[in-house]
Structure 1
Amino acid sequence: MRRILKIINILFLFIFSVGFSQVKISGVVLDEQNQTIPFANILFVGSTTGTVSDENGKFYLETEENFNRIEVSFLGFETKIISIKSRDFNLKIILKEEASQLDEVFIYSGKVKKKGNPAIEILKKVWAKERQNGIYLFDQYQYEKYEKLEFDMNNVDSVFMKKKLFKGMEFVFNSIDTSRITGKAFLPIFINESVYNSFGKNKGGQKLREDLVANKNSGFNSNQNVIAFIKDLYVDYNIYDSYIKIFDKSFVSPISKASGISTYNYVLTDSAYIDNKWCYNILYYPRRKSELTFKGDFWVNDSTFAIKEINMQANRSANINWVKDIYIEQEFDVLNDSVFLLKRDYMLSDFSLNKKDKSKGVYGRRTTMYKDYKFNQQKDAGFYNEEINVYDEKIYNKADDYWSESRQEKLNENELGIYKMLDTLTTVPKFKQIYNAISILGSGYIEFNKFDFGSIYSTIGKNDVEGLRLRVGGRTYLGGNEPWRIQGYTAYGFDDDKFKYGMSGKWMVNPKSRFIIGGGNRRDVEQIGVSLTTTNDVLGRSFASSSFFASGDNSKLTSINLSNFFMSIEPKNNLQFKIGASYRTLESASPGTFNLDYWVDKENDIKKSDVIQSEIDFSIKYTPDRKTIGYGVERNEVTDTYSTWFLNYSQGIKGVFNSDFDYQKIQFYYRQPILIGGFGRMFTTFEVGKTFGEVPLGLLNVVPGNQSYFTIENTYSLLDYYEFVTDTYASLHIEHNFNGRFLSRIPLLRKLNLREIVGVKGVWGEISDKNLALNASNINYIAPNKPYYEYSVGIGNIFKVFRIDFSWRGNYKDVPDANKFAIKGAFGFHF
């Protein structure tokens, strides 16, 4: 009996040790002169599991299997095999230079020559067949997709755990885990899981339809701003594309046919069977620092020349803010000899204020799994334009049994406990205080029960008419997905001794078509000359009417009383039709220095100083590829990198409620962001408009000036308010941000990660003789019959948050008091 028990004990210990025998190692690779070796290859002997050292020669590697040796290699150095322990950190590995090997592979200044390089010959075959494998072989395809998004606080150590901040919340540290990529301890703070049924087609134009089947999340589940930010971080990408877009930046793909060879060094390092397929292993690393590149390796099948596995780690010296590390893995499954299908896509990002190893930050992790591929199951073209009802509560209330079966990658023990831990955490008063503080900074609103106070950023203002201005306001808030919302504010100016207010409400009658009705009223002081394309948004107010941000004369303000009612519908995603009616009165807010007068009877010297106007308007807005979060009457945008088409028609109706004028106004607005590969991003904005009929200054199109100290989109930096007045206009704005393409190559500037920006703005316009004759204001109408233009050069990413622009006026320099040169700045948080 004792012998049996002893055998059982031995078996138990063996099973226990195998189950928990995870190997974790880290260290640095050096040469004999004690100089670090970046991009060295580290591999567990007898496996395909490995990594590449970073720019500083450091590495971290782990596996669930039992290995006791690693192989370390780099071109021009002798390969070294080292024995390791299951936990072996701070390894110092010294490689010896091998002269004969240097001659053989033509190494010069750390760069691999292209001629005679077998890795590049393999790459050429990959490019030749990049569209001849996977889903591109089929007219139609479908699959099931599972996506898991997680955010974790990293570099959690004993000192961090003992901080007073966590008093009363110590239980959260029971969920601490260790990253298999970096070896750092982390604490989960958010998790979101989704299941999709995806359908696509290649023939007759590529289309992809994704139906959300199930969704589950915890953590910041009630804050739509946070969720929108998280969704924006992780967009889909294709490693076969020339550029991979991550965090609004274009990284050169290591498989890029256009730029790969000029950007990376490639080395053929190994060959082995993976899933019964013979594959070549190619190591790659960047030729230059500070560019948007990766390092890592990939495995290529020897017959189809399709990628079987790839890992990509972003160059830490790349010009990207707030992100210390980016790591990507993709695995492809083999359907048959010619079809390799994406099976698993994993991405980890380490967000931090700086790029020091010990700095604390947040991991963002996305894992996407694919299964049940099916091909050429015929569906008509209309199928791909249909949309499911994402407002169905069943999607968000799936039972635990469903998730146990639908997860393509099972949650580990710590992940399973995240939901419970986070739900418990939200009941802790101290956590609520911290969470609320972060939420207030992000949204500008202070959350109360079913009501938000704000926006806090508009509380204090100042201008030449009101003097010091105080404002308080708020909105209803029932969780972010409510079908209706009411919001309003009141303000008081100490110089004009007047109260102002605004109130609006909207109700989504039909969630599926997003049929919304709304209306409101606003009485306030406004600068109406800051936008060409006009809207009747009741609560819209520009900070151009605050001299906190303005220079020069800021007294040309207008008192406005605006009421409106509208109905909108979205029959197709991102296509909105809107019809509305408005009534407004306009008069000068400072009659002593500025007026809106127009002639009623010029012969008898009769004029009027206020405008009363009734108007109906119809608009179409199309924003293809725009992504939103939530399904309430108001939604948060996931990203702003979509194009915008806007067409508006307005009809002024004389006589209705004592309305003064009959006129017709048509306006068109188009904005397009353009990613130009490794050369950054360009934004183009085009506007045209015409007003038919006789109207006074308050109803004309004023070319938007910018008397602030800041760079403002779609305004002209060197124009004052009302410098140009038109009834017919066309404007074009072009701005290109090179994202440090050139400055990163200047040694003394490289570490500053500055970004160069250039721009040009132009406007043409005219005004009819009838409108000139109607004018009785103290504004002299000047239309830019000869197109006005200005150009600028800017430097962005100063201290990561500031941008400065230098602008020059191109013409109309002889205009009295013309601004010929200006320096303006802007604050912002950008990756």
Structure 2
Amino acid sequence: MKFIFIILAIFILTEVTDAQLSDLQGTVSEIRTGEALGYVTVKVDSSNTGTTSDENGHYKLLLPDGLHRVIFSMVGYYSDTAIVNINGLSQQRNIYLKQSEILTEVIEVEGEDPAYEIIRRALVYKNNFKRNLNEYKLSAYSKFILRSNQGSVIIPDSIKTSGSDLGILGILESETLLYFKKPDLTKQVVTSKRETANIIRGFALPYIVNFYDDNIDIGSVSIPGPLSEDTFDNYDFRLSGMTSFDSVPVFKIDVYNKSERVPQFYGQIFILDNIYSLIKVDLRTNQATDIRFINNLRFLQSFNHYTDESDNDFWLPTDVRIFANGSVGGIIGLLKLEADVFTIVSDYEINKPAPIGTFDDIIIKVNEDATKDSSYWAERSLIKTSKMENFVFQKMEEKTEQRKHKLSIGPGSINYGKYFSSFPVSYYSFNRVEGNALSFNARYNSDLSREIINGKIKYGLDDKKIKYKLFATANLLPDRSLKLSTGLFRDLKTTAENPSDLTLLSNTAEAIGYKMDDYDYYYSSGYFGSIDYELSPAFGLNLSFNQQKQWSAKTNTDFSILKSEQKSKLNPKINEAFLRTISFTAYLNFNRSYKIDWGDGEFSNLKVSNEIPRLELQYSITPKSLGSNYEFSKFSAILSGRNKLNFLFDFRYTLGGEYFTGGVPYQMLGHLSDYNGKGVPDFGVKSIMFQEYLGDRVYYFKFENNFGKLLWGNIPILGDFNLIGFFNASKVEISDRNRYGAVYKGFRTTDGIFTEAGFGIGRILDIFRLDFIWRLNNFIKDRNFKLTLSIDNF
């Protein structure tokens, strides 16, 4: 079926490109003032072919030979028609539109505003035409311009065409075929594309918002549209004036969001009289629209009249313009971002069946020959490429080429060339075992991360030991469904936890300053190997082998900057062990997923929902028959997921457990995944101390709900933050064999079911989260409340 589709797609594309097309282009201006008119709809009469003028009034239309009647239209102006004869040569035609009569700008009424009845009739029209719209195909041209104050090309004033003070970070341009079929089948075929050289892999995928839809989905945020079935629950309307489309009156309606606590739009919409079709929108998102690093979104969209072969009438989008700005670091604005997205839609084929095999598990397909050079885009680009954009393409090419053989410093990394990098965050560390420790790490990352090699060497000045790690990963199939990993190590490990470099950096600061070293340590050396195979998007397997020798570490330093008179706590001994472990893991994830075919033999999986819980099952065995000096096994199960029901209920959860049999070394016992407020959280139990609870039977339930802006959406500054509530319940038990067999006795099990609850304030400076946590039982004197600051990953 896939093969048939590819053949048909090639045939369709060949048929289009074999036809002789010539461009008709020019500028659309206001007839009286000569001012350029942006976003004018340009449509070939009696067809579904057209384009849109850019912000400078320039338009470009590709037409076959013959006589064409081209109509130029815009809300608030009389349409104009140009008769052009295309004979294989490009033609220039400038158009001048006359402003139509504005009937009124202010309408004062008593009682219900007339806008409400207009919206009711627009809803009836929407439902009627959507009932007849079963499927369609369209062509889209898209251009994305991304701006930033970091890593961007600074534009000289002499060629700057934008009022933004930010440099350009990247430009993407594409031509795409889009197929749609009820209820929600889509397919996008990228037929041509280009992007600045700093973008390793990408394309300007058209984001064709349709404000006739009940909900506008932006990432994980769903916003009710102004013509949704529940629109009167979300919006107030006011008829603010009237204009016209040619001689047909057009209602200009102001849209007011009813709340700042839930995602909604505000702005203006324009509805055609008599038909009550939506023909233009100018809408912005409110403060409650919680998209990370995006502060504001503005949508401009126009609609025009199209028909199918049965002469059913449809008003469908002709273009969409999206303006976005945001930042990383909130009011500090460490990284500022802007995006300008312009998509022009044309060549609708409405209610014609798509080729057989179009709708499959590949939702986005990039043609093998999609990448085009500048000469192609000089001919085909519907939005004129400015001197500024050409300058950016050239400079990014130069910068990328220079970077291949140059040392450069990026955010949190030092890079050499294209493939090698090092991360200074772990160059220095301090703990009571190693004391001051110096290390160096290096990473090799091949094209598209198909192969990754990580290496690290470290020396502790007080334990006087060299440690090292060398890990390698290789993806062996184009769709990355088969992955091999291997590594060898001799390292100082923390018992129970495996903290990140950022967490260890935070621990270093507190250990060297106040002797608040939260972790206990032991030495381990050995090697491992694993194979991951994804049999389908819903089912994956992992098989791994691990050998390690574990032995005790001791406290070697009492050094501290501020607590020099205080002794460091002793590092506990472990049950010294030689272990060989075989593990089997199965992953089940039945959430809907699609693939991206990148056109170069590579595929990516794209999960488009999280409604069904993900299940992970693992069984590991450490037998004496393989040479281990302990014999035990472990079975674990984890059920996790995230569901967003509405603005009030956006929750994630984990339900899991671990069950051990046999004699387990103390350092390998099960534990509650704790979070001590240093760095990146693990969605763990928040109020416990490190290794407070250990056992061979561990059960847990973790739940968090993001209430968004529920309490303070209307309050300035506070409206930037999210409110998160959480509850955790856990139970830890241990057999007498493993309790008495443990060398270290400084842990305990829970008294019944341990519970805690609290709330967090998220999106502080966009990236931080402050949690307030209370134990509900298993109390410890002076430690039943905890305040933690972490990276916000919810």
Q: What TM-score range do you get, normalising by the shorter chain? A: 0.7 to 0.9
CA deviation digits over 1:165-208, x for unaligned, max 9?
99xx9874444114xxxx667764421123444344335xx333
Please identify, of 496-505 and 336-345, the stretch whose mean Cα deviation from structure 2 is larger.
336-345
Structure 2 distance, partners of 1:566, 1:19, is 73
- In the other structure, the counterpart of 1:377 is 353
Partner of 2:129: 133
1:265–1:287 contact (8 Å) kept in structure 2? no
Specify the code of the residue in structure 2 equivalent to 1:201: K
1:186-585 to 2 correspondence within 5 Å?
188-202=168-182, 206-218=184-196, 220-222=198-200, 239-240=211-212, 244-246=216-218, 251=223, 253-258=225-230, 260-267=232-239, 269-270=241-242, 272-273=244-245, 280-287=251-258, 292-301=263-272, 305-315=276-286, 325-336=296-307, 337-351=312-326, 362-370=337-345, 371-375=347-351, 377=353, 383-386=359-362, 394-395=369-370, 397-400=371-374, 403=377, 407=381, 409-414=382-387, 417-418=390-391, 420-423=393-396, 426=399, 436-437=408-409, 440-441=410-411, 444-478=412-446, 480-481=447-448, 483-512=450-479, 514-530=481-497, 543=504, 546-548=507-509, 554-572=518-536, 576-585=540-549
In the alignment, does 2:154 pair up with 1:176? no
TM-score by length of 2: 0.73
For the aligned residue pairs, the C-alpha RMSD in angstroms reads 4.9
Query: Is the aligned partner of 1:596 residue 2:574?
Result: yes
Q: Which of 698, 713, 730 is matched with 2:699 structurally?
A: 730
8 Å Cα contact 1:613-1:661 kept in structure 2: no
| Conserved? CA contact 1:772–1:781, under 8 Å | no
Tell me if 1:148 matches 2:143.
yes
CA contact (8 A) 1:523 1:560 kept: yes
1:712 to 645, 657, 681: 681
Distance 1:320 1:769 in 2: 48
Q: What residue is the counterpart of 1:755 in the other structure? A: 721
Matched-pair contact (CA < 8 Å) for 1:304–1:338: no
Is the CA contact 2:652–2:705 (under 8 Å) kept in the aligned structure 1? yes
Q: How much identity, in percent, do the aligned residues show?
A: 15
Query: In 2 relative to 1, CA 360–221 (structure 1 residues): closer, same or farther, beyond 3 Å?
Result: closer
Matched residues in 1 for 2:661 and 2:314: separation?
61
Which string of whole-angstrom CA distances, capped at 9 and with x for unpartnered residues, describes residues 521-577 of structure 1?
22222224237xxxxx9x999639934367856352232334222223345458644
Give the aligned partner of residue 682 of structure 1: 651
How many residues are paired up? 692
| 1:612 is aligned to 2:596 | no
The 2-side partners of 1:236 and 1:242 are apart by 14
Deviation at 1:73, TM superposition (A): 7.2
* 1:821 shift after superposition: 0.4
Change over 3 Å in CA distance of 1:401–1:581 after alignment to 2: same
The residue type equivalent to 2:691 in the other structure is: Y
For 2:120, the equivalent position in structure 1 comes to 124
Q: 1:71 to 1:386 in 2, by over 3 A?
A: closer
Q: What one-letter code is carried by the residue in structure 1 that aligns with 2:319?
A: R
Match of 1:22 among 13, 27, 35: 35
Amino acid at match of 1:346: R
Unaligned runs of 5+ in 1: 1-13, 26-45, 51-62, 77-100, 107-115, 155-164, 532-536, 598-608
Call closer, same or farther: CA 1:129–1:374 in 2, change over 3 Å: closer
Alpha-carbon deviations, 1:45-87, whole Å to 9, x = none?
Answer: x96259xxxxxxxxxxxx99667899797657xxxxxxxxxxx
Letter in 2 for 1:270: M
CA contact (8 A) 1:352 1:359 kept: yes
Corresponding position of 1:161: none
Partner Cα separation in structure 1 for residue 677 and residue 168 of structure 2: 43
Cα distance in structure 2, aligned partners of 1:306 and 1:476: 56
User: How far apart are 1:213 and its partner, in Å?
Assistant: 3.6
**Does the Cα contact within 8 Å between 1:242 and 1:255 map onto a contact in 2?**
yes
Q: Give the counterpart letter for 2:701 in structure 1.
A: L
Would the alpha carbon gap of residues 767 and 571 (structure 1) be closer, same or farther in structure 2, given more than 3 Å must change?
A: same
How far did residue 719 of structure 1 move? Answer: 0.6
Residue 48 (structure 1) aligned to one of 68, 75, 78: 75
Q: 1:303 to 1:344 in 2, by over 3 A?
A: same
Contact 2:593-2:607 within 8 A present in 1 as well:
no
Aligned 8 A contact 2:147 2:170 in 1: yes
The one-letter code sitting in structure 1 at the alignment partner of 2:172 is: N
Structure 2 Cα separation of the partners of residues 655 and 317 of structure 1? 58
Q: Deviations over 1:500-540 (max 9, x none)?
A: 21111222322145433221122222224237xxxxx9x99
Once the two structures are superposed, what CA deviation does each residue of 1:214-262 show, in whole Å capped at 9, x if it has no partner? 331005324x7xx79x99xx97755355654547655554334436544
* Contact 2:267–2:284 (CA under 8 A) maintained in structure 1: yes
How many Å separate the matches in 2 of 1:138 and 1:262?
26
Shift in CA distance, 172/658, structure 1 to aligned 2, threshold 3 Å: farther
Provide the secondary structure at the position in 2 that maps to 1:121: helix
Structure 2 runs not aligned, ≥5 long: 1-26, 39-72, 78-93, 556-569
Cα distance, 1:385 vs. partner? 2.0
Query: Structure 1 residues 725 and 774 mapped into 2: Cα distance closer, same or farther (>3 Å)?
Result: same
Q: Is the 8 A contact 2:29 2:36 kept in 1?
A: no
| Conserved 8 A contact 1:250-1:680 | no
Q: Distance in 2 between matches of 1:268 and 1:495?
A: 76
Contact 1:150 1:191 survives alignment (8 Å): yes
The alpha carbon displacement at 1:679 in A equals 3.6
2:623 equivalent in structure 1 = 654
Query: Structure 1 residues 146, 382: closer, same or farther in 2, change over 3 A?
Result: closer
Trace 1:24-39 onto structure 2 (pairs within 5 A): none
For the 8 Å contact 2:774–2:786, the answer to whether it is kept is yes
